[in-house]
Structure 1
Amino acid sequence: MHVPSLLAVTAHGQHRWAVALVGLLMLGSANAQDTDTRTSVIAAPVTTTQWSDPLEALGTLRADESVTLSATVTDTIAELSFNDGQRVAEGDLLIRLHDSAEQAELRAAQALRRERENAVRRARQLQDRNVGTRAEYEDAQAQLAQVNAQIDEIQSSLADHRIRAPFAGTVGQRDISVGALVTPGTELITLDKLDHMKLDFTVPATFLGALEPGMSLSATTASYPEQIFRGEVTSIGTRIDPVSRSVSVRAQLPNPDRTLLPGMLMIVTLERRSRETLVVPESVLVPSGERQYVMRIARDADNQIQRRRVEIGARRAGEVEIHSGLQAGDWVVSHGTTQVRDGDHVDILALDDGSREISDILKAARDEEDSG
């Protein structure tokens, strides 16, 4: 009658011993991790860097100043004083039209002016001696003024026969030759100021409140895929396009090497809300539901792992912004997060500062271990 009770007691005792044995094994395993085996991890530093919220758009380049020079008179080309793509200074003579008739008219008018000047002097002398009348003197002055006006008109016509650079810039390709007949409105040559470029693009009107002159931007083009061109917003349009619901924006890009040319298509990235913030590699994040954690390495506690909850902000290629939970200079596990737990002690295999590939870091660590 007592056998079942004895069996039950025995079974119950065996269960308690089993539970105790498992507990001892777990404790021993934990102690072993603390004292003997330490997981090797790659760490990453928490850094402070400049951050902005990017806004991308497509833009078209324009020269800072651009003009197509044309004739205002009808005549033939007598001289061309430039080559294709030549840089010229403001006021340089580019094209001279035949002006022999105007030069002859100028010489005749200048001779007539000398005659009229002499007439004015004689009339003045006669008036001073009370021989001539004041009316004669004033009539001589009027005739001199008339010839001076005629000379000014001829000189203006001569200026129209000389086409000069209105500003310093680079001329385009020449499509005209000496002897060609030109008429008013004939396009002769283009002139562009290329040391700075205007970049025009549109932005959805919903971002209007975030736009302001002086904002920094970067731009790239397929013509120079390895280069990043930087500039800033100079003006924002005063009207919203009723069809696209966008606003026009103009920026300026320095172009000291004159590599950028008018008409190029540019991919523009506006740097909104520029700020200094804490940044870590995305690989350090350990998500748990809607929360994000990191494995902080307490270097002052023998590299002990501290599981920290963090508040993250914006993300960009390979990086994430940290709002709270970490400080600049902290180290966190970037590779090996799944192999460690809160309270573990780790060995730091290498510090990943973003300057090397992980494969290179691991190879360097292996080589160092082999050599040791």
Structure 2
Amino acid sequence: MANHSLSGKRRDIMERQESNQQSKAQELLPVTHRRPKTVMLALIFACLLVVCAGLGLITGPQLMASDAKNVAPTRPPMPVETAEVRVADSDKILASSGSLYSKESVVIVAEIAGRIKEIGFIEGKKTKEGKMLIKLDSAVLQAELDRAVANRNLSKSNYKRADNLLKDHAISRQERDEAYASWQLDRANVRLAQAQLAKTIIQAPFAGTLGLRQVSLGDYVMPGQALVNLEAIEELKIEFSISGKHLAEVKTGQKIKLRSSAYPQQSFIGQIYAINPQINVQSRSLTVRGLLNNSKHQLLPGQFVKIQLSVGTRANALFIPEQALIPQPKTKLVFKVVNGKAQMVEVKTGTRMEGWVEITSGLSAGDIVVTGGHQKIGPGSPVQTVPADPTLFAKN
């Protein structure tokens, strides 16, 4: 019995020593070997939270309280320039492009051969109709005229003598007629010599502005040789084409608005004076001509111009500044401000009127559209509206 008791005590001592050794060994294990136990405890704790929340023991705000500090703050409204959709009458405009021409234009040429003796004009200056521009040496032609006059005078005397002799029956009627024909031929030679002599003085056929001369004093010129161009530019012709389908809308007397790249902020007004009575077979277009007052000589022949022709009016049309448009390859968009947020809207456009564009669908009167700051916002972005400076938009 004593031996049995001793054996039991010995087993207890050995078990306690083994337990202590296992505890020390556990403490010596790396952290990574103990992590599964920690993860398991965390999962158990999370499951308990979900169960408690489902039972109503823990509320939503309590669950989110620990994450509230990590939520990003709300984005402040972005300031953008805006304008209101306006209502105005809209002209139906036919747009085209064309060229300007002098009302009258000519290249002055020599009609006869000769040496230039005098130049009576200054390049680029105005001249009057009939003013002498160039004078050729006339000595030879003057001598020919003098000879022709002498021959005419002689033949005239011969005719008068023959006529008297015929009355006395001293010569035949045929001889008298031959003397008369000789006199008339010499008269014609005088007129021919006078005409040739007149061609040595080259005059302006109409009032206008002279171009750059192509010859110098002393040059020997040939018939047909260009000397200088003359342009009547107090008025200019405008020539342009429109589609034949608008034939019924175009009339003589209608006003034309023109723009030139030389004066981007200025428009010019002309008037239709002629319409070609035939439509071009290849282009199916109609050629139209107008006249433009150019007394200040701001425009010159040969310039390219953009043309607008008003052929009707549409009341209560909607307009927005051109800056509000966001052109896309196949559509046009604008940002409309709705309840403090930017809303992207597809629109269709009509007539353009000097800084404004007509909207035929997509917007309503009174809508607010973004005109500046598009690059800073997107659909749904909160915005702070700042009225745009109205002077930034052209007035029609």
Q: TM-score, normalised by structure 2?
A: 0.56
Amino acid at match of 1:178: L
Whether 1:116 and 2:165 are equivalent positions in the alignment is no
Match of 1:157 in 2: 196
Q: SS in structure 1 opposite 2:176?
A: helix
| Residue 255 of structure 1, aligned match among 282, 294, 298 | 294
Q: In structure 2, what is the equivalent of residue 145 of structure 1?
A: 184
Further displaced range: 263-272 or 155-164: 155-164
Q: How many residues align?
A: 257
Aligned to 2:279: 239
Query: What does 1:309-328 correspond to in 2, within 5 Å?
Result: 317=353
Q: Are residues 1:172 and 2:219 paired?
A: no
Q: Does 1:99 align with 2:138?
A: yes
Contact kept in structure 1, 2:115 and 2:220, CA below 8 Å: yes
Q: Is the 8 A contact 1:127 1:137 kept in 2?
A: yes
Larger Rg: 2
Aligned residue for 2:52?
none
1:212 matched to 2:264? The reply is no
Residue of 94, 114, 135 corresponding to 1:55: 94
8 A Cα contact 1:89 1:165, kept in partner: yes
Query: What residue in structure 1 maps to residue 332 of structure 2?
Result: none
Assess, with a 3 A threshold, how the Cα gap between structure 1 residues 143 and 315 changes in structure 2: closer, same or farther.
closer
- Structural mapping, 1:196-211, within 5 Å: 196-211=235-250
**Paired AA for residue 166 in structure 1:** P
Q: Distance in 2 between matches of 1:198 and 1:334?
A: 43
Any conservation in 1 of the 2:214–2:226 contact (CA below 8 Å)?
no
Distance 2:195 2:142 in 1: 12
Summarize deviations over 1:117-167 as a string: whole Å, max 9, x none.
222222233334444543332222111111112112222222332322222
* SS class of match (2:279): strand
1:232-286 per-residue CA deviation (whole Å, 9 max, x = no partner) reads 22223613252x443332222121222221111111111112x5x7558758xxx
Amino acid corresponding to residue 163 of structure 1 in structure 2: I
Cα distance, 1:199–1:282 mapped onto 2, change above 3 Å: closer
Percent pairwise identity: 29
Query: CA offsets, 1:99-132, max 9 Å, x none?
Result: 2111101101111111122222222333344445
SS at 1:222's partner residue?
coil
1:313-352 aligned within 5 A = 317=353
CA contact (8 A) 2:87 2:319 kept: no
Asked if the contact 1:68–1:191 (Cα under 8 Å) also holds between the matched residues in 2, the reply is: yes
Question: Which AA in structure 2 matches 1:189?
Answer: V
Alignment of 1:77-92 (within 5 A): 77-92=116-131
**Equivalent residue for 1:324?**
none
Separation in 1, partners of 2:357, 2:242: 26
Change (3 A) 1:278 1:208: closer
Aligned AA for 1:90? E
| Partner of residue 265, structure 2 | 226
Point out where structure 1 has 5 or more consecutive residues left out of the alignment: 1-44, 284-312, 322-332, 337-356, 360-372
Amino acid at match of 1:235: I
Q: What residue in structure 2 maps to residue 339 of structure 1? A: none
Task: Give the 3-state SS of the residue equivalent to 2:305 in structure 1.
Answer: strand
Distance 1:199 1:358 in 2: 34
Distance 1:101 1:86 in 2: 32
Task: Compute the displacement of 1:217 (Å).
Answer: 1.0
1:33-44 matched pairs, under 5 angstroms: none
Kindly tell me: are residues 358 and 157 of structure 1, through their superposed partners in 2, closer, same or farther at Cα, counting changes over 3 Å?
closer
Amino acid at match of 2:127: V
Structure 2 residue runs without a partner (length 5+) = 1-85, 321-348, 360-364, 369-388, 392-396
Q: Helix, strand or coil: the match of 1:252?
A: strand
CA RMSD of aligned residues (A): 3.6
Deviation per residue, 1:7-29 (Å, 9 max, x gap): xxxxxxxxxxxxxxxxxxxxxxx
- Whether 1:70 and 2:109 are equivalent positions in the alignment is yes
Question: What code does the residue aligned with 1:55 have?
Answer: L
Letter in 2 for 1:57: S
Match of 2:220 among 168, 172, 181: 181
| Contact 1:279/1:320 (8 A) holds in 2 | no
Residue 157 of structure 2 aligns with an amino acid whose one-letter code is N
